[in-house]
Structure 1
């Protein structure tokens, strides 16, 4: 038996057959539990490679056994354990290869294909060409998808989990690579998949007892957690340092094995032992790096080796920080009484399911890097404001782990008294849709019409508790008077009932739409100490058994005082109360004065967040009787019909939202606005955007724009290009005269640019050609007439010389269309002329 840590390149580079025996279970991995976490890990490693950092990711262990039953001259091995992860890895590598081939990055594609397919020289049939061979029921689907020609039509393949996995990874790879596919990103992904992953390979000889080893690996005990692995490493190091493992355990670790720390806590859809999660958060607080929970142990080990710290000191710090953290958690769990700043922060962020922020909490209250208390609290309040404002507006949280790590990293070298200012500065600078800090104006504008009741109820209850506390004089972390509302115990009630039609009727469809829209708005919601019975809850506002009287008789909360004084309750009063409650939010979670970032930077999908089908029907943007069809793929042919009530009818059932109907078809959550197709082939999202006035035919804009650019370039330089059909992408390319480079004209996220990209498959040749020009930089820039941006992209496969448009610009800036066309044409011609002058001068020397 041999045990080695190997990369996919080392495992799969040689021609071979690795066979999954017939008795192995079928492929069972799923998107939520395995594919998504794996892809996040791949992305993180690839992004770090783009930054010049090589940090391998550990995938687990596999067991193989050599076999004499190979096909011809090929080596053969049976896969005893680990077939789920190796099958997934092969699928992922093949999906990436297919996407790179479709993007015409053939050399990168071939580097991956050699890991999944045996060379043609062996003369193998279609199934035999694959290096991983399934003998069980997965064979048909695996062979079909792994031998399909790109671009792959998944609808024509056998329906299986393996095919679904291939399609999933294909979509993820395509999104990550972007368009156009930058050679640097393609190279980083290929390097990650071939050399950036590690597996422990236990290789058995043919005569060794594989079944006994398999049973030992799988049938005894439970898998080791990150805490188990860290613990073992910690005490091994203490012994190596000459310390006493027994004494260290009793003094510092024994408390970490009680039930509080072994309890599993939720992280989104997953659960993790609390101690393992704490160690991950503590590690992020130390490193200022995003560390996946699956990489906690490997990063902890490398961090310790790099730090050079005695392990006894590290363990003491972990114990002290863990003790403090446990105190915070117990405080946050109290339902009554006042809370300190940290306890309140923990309660609210846990109600909002914002687990990713805890590393920053640990950094601000680090036992080894103590800050002045007022500084730590001031920073914490800004962080809470940033998080809760985004949560109230339902802004995405997917980038929080990265942002939190970045905020921690920004504190390197900052003096203790300057930490709060540094945190605020970092938060204010965030400007991406997934990260920015919303201002007061945006909260007021968005919440006036937001159906906030649709948010998770624990989160919503925390919002309403903050409003009640505001009424009681709490606008920050300490009380001006009174006591805070009881936490986590109140019921949420609609003042205008959800079932309003019996006692609150209106006449027209537009009035019905308006009333429906107000039901779930902030100003129509309140907390109650006890729930009302359904008759009162859905009854009229006034009268001896009316809702107003019931509220007055049974409730003492200040937030219901205003509604209880009114003679009627209608849409106008809901709007007024929404404005008051929004003020409660902005004062409870204040932002810096004058901070109002441009919300236009949000995506169209976010901007259209609160549009209902009924709105489209009432305004004629979606006619009654319209038949929507499911998107292409496995669900093609399923349809839903738009009803006069603004619902979707499908198979005799009605659905309030397109996402609800889409979930019925797909079997899982889906964005219905992009899932359903209109009769003309467009997406339902198109009708939504037309209703909002945000619809833009970007593809058409790009196509007509680039066609005009090409026409003018051809007129000025007939020898440069004969291209006439630019397509609808945000970029076009023009020839350089050699395969080592190309000119690129593009609308980038930072604005228009004209580049000379050195992006061939030969990274050394790219760098040599780039440096040839950089050696004559002054001469080139003098020819060009202005400074250029030089990007060697060290440790990556490509380099570029770039010219940006200083004033920016986007394809949607129709008023500047002529100026943008002139800029692209003149800049491209000038750069080509300047480059040619340097090349000619070099050839003449």
Structure 2
């Protein structure tokens, strides 16, 4: 290994090809992150050279190159092990300099720069030999097009005008051109070329053919734009693929290229953290294979250990990963289809996604693993029904999620030790045996007790609540008991959640503030029995209007009788809709829920009160410190009569109505309405368009505490 400090001229002047391996990630640098800072640094140095001030060299970072064996008489080739983003950007910049200097008429200066981006024609045998740097195959067309474009470059005529390659070239060209025109063009052009030649420095680590490039790559990968787990794994796999370049490229296209498509590059959340879908899949796949809880920061190292311990050649590993990825994509895309039939796997993925339960994906991959014996359909269905019931019921009682990662892994170990033909029974029985507050499976009695008075509209995120109502609608259409031929499932994620008795009930809906059972009506209207689905949102006047009459709510609901949930409301509220009917409908809907998400016969769960609920008392100041609210942010009154009223939040959690300060949200709400029973967390909205209230923000915070607690435990144990 030879380490030297070199200028771009020393790196690029000799005829050569610096080759980006096909398995490295594509070009990802951006204007804000890297292009603009690079230009600012170069312009600052060039300005000193122009003014004949003492200019010190500017350090641009380090690159790692590895020599490749080539035939005598051909161009020398080095593989870029690390630093492809930096070297590619420099080539785009140098070509933009050449373009601008030549356009300005300074031919000799332009020729000096041209020799740093193109090899002399008498050294080239193929088109690929033309340029000093040759990017990974995904970027080659865009790179070749912009670098080969005639001077001055017409960016609008480029086929890949929106590519990062073209945008980088265009950015540099524009900035260089503007800077040259702001002063004496020839002086500035000369200073710029001198800066490139003498005042930029890069540490070049040159590896011999037989040196281990992977170790250097892993050490340096944290610089610049961080590499994902998928990037690191790809580099590791293809570095160790014992194949010719042509065979490596064939394997890349067959087994890995799809991971660099929009589906796999999409960022998805797991907890509060965003991952590329490819990285998340590889993590979940690895958990399913190793039966170990793999923290995100250890995915790559654990992957290497798995490959080494299993003694699996990478050429045999790639097809296995690709096959599992196909299964993962099928159920992910299947679950996203809004209309039409869903198989049990896709429905499981859809429903658990609304619960933000990525944690179950490793177990799902294990159940569907094509390398293992196929699990019989009834047993697979039993496993999914049991898991879904466990997750949904724990969500209803607001059970802690902080132990889920380890518990899912433990359950996979138990299921792996039992025959796969009984996997569903094993998983169901394992769930039923749990007696820990963090993992127990709530029984029917606890669910009835919890949902009977739970203000679920305030406690559940809208997506989760809609999923529950959709499940009840499907259940009433005959799904879960049979496969109806004459009806379809409700369109998923499309219906609007509507309060039957409106939240602004006082104007048109007779009734006391407190019903005969001593329950506040403002709480009753947030319970399950007062909620329904409609196929399109009602306007606010109808939504908050009276029950009876030509323009009443019942008449409007009658237009949506294809939904059995809404038809029931119209039938049961033929003459009126009141607290008693809400309570009765809540009980009826709970009956449906217990059938949709059943527990084994005779299962009671733990004794009520032993579950660890998310009952942490949240203050407004905590939400400000967590970044979920901002000092000075406006909050808006929910009630129609006071819709224009707003308050502001102070940094210490105070609530201000004008100059008057209140210590609690409820106190501020009561000051607005005069109603002494006003609940502030529900009353104040952060977004009037979506009716998102502070209760929703508080719930997000509580869920994040569970996720953070799990991370903290993990750090303490490691």
Q: For the superposition of Structure 1 and Structure 2, which TM-score range results when normalised by the shorter chain?
A: 0.5 to 0.7
1:561 Cα offset (Å): 1.8
1:635 Cα offset (Å): 7.7
Output the CA distance in 1 between the equivalents of 2:546 and 2:553. 6
Output the CA distance in 2 between the equivalents of 1:541 and 1:240. 74
Find the counterpart in structure 1 of residue 448 from structure 2. 444
Find the counterpart in structure 1 of residue 494 from structure 2. 489
1:324 Cα offset (Å): 1.4
TM-score using structure 1 length: 0.48
Matched, 1:469 2:474: yes
Matches within 5 A, 1:144-155: none
Output the CA distance in 1 between the equivalents of 2:473 and 2:233. 44
1:598 to 602, 606, 609: 606
Find the counterpart in structure 1 of residue 233 from structure 2. 230
Contact 1:337 1:484 in 2 (8 A): yes
Contact 2:397 2:613 in 1 (8 A): no
Contact 2:497 2:531 in 1 (8 A): yes
Q: Secondary structure at the match of 1:431?
A: coil
Find the counterpart in structure 1 of residue 424 from structure 2. 420
Q: Which runs of 5+ in 1 are unaligned?
A: 4-61, 64-208, 611-632, 675-795, 798-845
1:339 to 335, 339, 342: 342
Matches within 5 A, 1:228-627: 228-239=231-242, 244-369=247-372, 370-454=374-458, 455-475=460-480, 478-479=483-484, 482-507=487-512, 514-565=520-571, 566=573, 567-600=575-608, 602=610, 606=614
Residues 219, 422 of structure 1: CA spacing in aligned structure 2 closer, same or farther, 3 A cutoff?
closer
Contact 1:336 1:485 in 2 (8 A): yes
What is the CA deviation profile of residues 73-120 of structure 1, one whole-angstrom value per residue up to 9, with x for unaligned ones? Answer: xxxxxxxxxxxxxxxxxxxxxxxxxxxxxxxxxxxxxxxxxxxxxxxx
Contact 2:515 2:579 in 1 (8 A): no
1:290 Cα offset (Å): 1.2
1:394 Cα offset (Å): 3.0
Residues 560, 303 of structure 1: CA spacing in aligned structure 2 closer, same or farther, 3 A cutoff?
same
1:351 Cα offset (Å): 1.8
Q: Secondary structure at the match of 2:416?
A: coil
Output the CA distance in 1 between the equivalents of 2:279 and 2:611. 35
The structure showing larger relative contact order (alpha-carbon pairs under 8 Å, at least 6 residues apart) is 2
Contact 2:255 2:319 in 1 (8 A): yes
Residues 460, 643 of structure 1: CA spacing in aligned structure 2 closer, same or farther, 3 A cutoff?
closer
Q: Secondary structure at the match of 1:600?
A: coil
Output the CA distance in 2 between the equivalents of 1:305 and 1:458. 42
Q: Secondary structure at the match of 2:453?
A: coil
Contact 2:514 2:521 in 1 (8 A): no
What is the CA deviation profile of residues 661-690 of structure 1, one whole-angstrom value per residue up to 9, with x for unaligned ones? Answer: 9x9xx9x9669999xxxxxxxxxxxxxxxx
Output the CA distance in 2 between the equivalents of 1:242 and 1:456. 51
Contact 1:390 1:438 in 2 (8 A): yes
Output the CA distance in 1 between the equivalents of 2:478 and 2:362. 31
Q: Secondary structure at the match of 2:532?
A: strand
Find the counterpart in structure 1 of residue 113 from structure 2. none
Output the CA distance in 1 between the equivalents of 2:423 and 2:700. 44
Output the CA distance in 2 between the equivalents of 1:472 and 1:336. 15
Q: Secondary structure at the match of 1:346?
A: helix
Residues 597, 334 of structure 1: CA spacing in aligned structure 2 closer, same or farther, 3 A cutoff?
same
1:341 Cα offset (Å): 0.6
1:373 Cα offset (Å): 2.8
Matched, 1:656 2:664: no
What is the CA deviation profile of residues 706-751 of structure 1, one whole-angstrom value per residue up to 9, with x for unaligned ones? Answer: xxxxxxxxxxxxxxxxxxxxxxxxxxxxxxxxxxxxxxxxxxxxxx
Q: Secondary structure at the match of 2:347?
A: helix
1:237 Cα offset (Å): 2.4
Find the counterpart in structure 1 of residue 125 from structure 2. none
Find the counterpart in structure 2 of residue 21 from structure 1. none
1:305 Cα offset (Å): 1.3
1:342 Cα offset (Å): 0.6
Matches within 5 A, 1:748-787: none
Q: Secondary structure at the match of 2:285?
A: helix
Output the CA distance in 1 between the equivalents of 2:300 and 2:335. 29
Contact 1:266 1:272 in 2 (8 A): yes
Q: Secondary structure at the match of 2:608?
A: helix
Output the CA distance in 1 between the equivalents of 2:318 and 2:700. 50
1:339 Cα offset (Å): 0.5
Residues 528, 230 of structure 1: CA spacing in aligned structure 2 closer, same or farther, 3 A cutoff?
same
Output the CA distance in 2 between the equivalents of 1:656 and 1:351. 27
Output the CA distance in 2 between the equivalents of 1:477 and 1:329. 24
Contact 2:545 2:553 in 1 (8 A): yes
Contact 1:287 1:409 in 2 (8 A): no
Contact 2:474 2:489 in 1 (8 A): yes
Residues 210, 673 of structure 1: CA spacing in aligned structure 2 closer, same or farther, 3 A cutoff?
closer
Q: Secondary structure at the match of 2:250?
A: helix
Find the counterpart in structure 2 of residue 206 from structure 1. none
Q: Secondary structure at the match of 1:272?
A: strand
Output the CA distance in 2 between the equivalents of 1:504 and 1:657. 22
Residues 508, 634 of structure 1: CA spacing in aligned structure 2 closer, same or farther, 3 A cutoff?
closer
Output the CA distance in 2 between the equivalents of 1:382 and 1:672. 26
Output the CA distance in 2 between the equivalents of 1:637 and 1:480. 56
After TM superposition, the structure 1 stretch with the greater mean CA deviation from structure 2, 360-369 or 531-540, is 531-540
Contact 1:428 1:436 in 2 (8 A): yes
What is the CA deviation profile of residues 261-302 of structure 1, one whole-angstrom value per residue up to 9, with x for unaligned ones? Answer: 111112232221100000000011111111122221111111
Output the CA distance in 1 between the equivalents of 2:318 and 2:467. 36
1:513 Cα offset (Å): 5.8
Output the CA distance in 1 between the equivalents of 2:419 and 2:242. 36
Output the CA distance in 2 between the equivalents of 1:673 and 1:322. 33
The number of equivalent residue pairs is 446
Residues 241, 293 of structure 1: CA spacing in aligned structure 2 closer, same or farther, 3 A cutoff?
farther
Pairwise CA RMSD: 4.2
Find the counterpart in structure 2 of residue 764 from structure 1. none
What is the CA deviation profile of residues 305-354 of structure 1, one whole-angstrom value per residue up to 9, with x for unaligned ones? Answer: 11122222221111001111111122111111110011111111112221
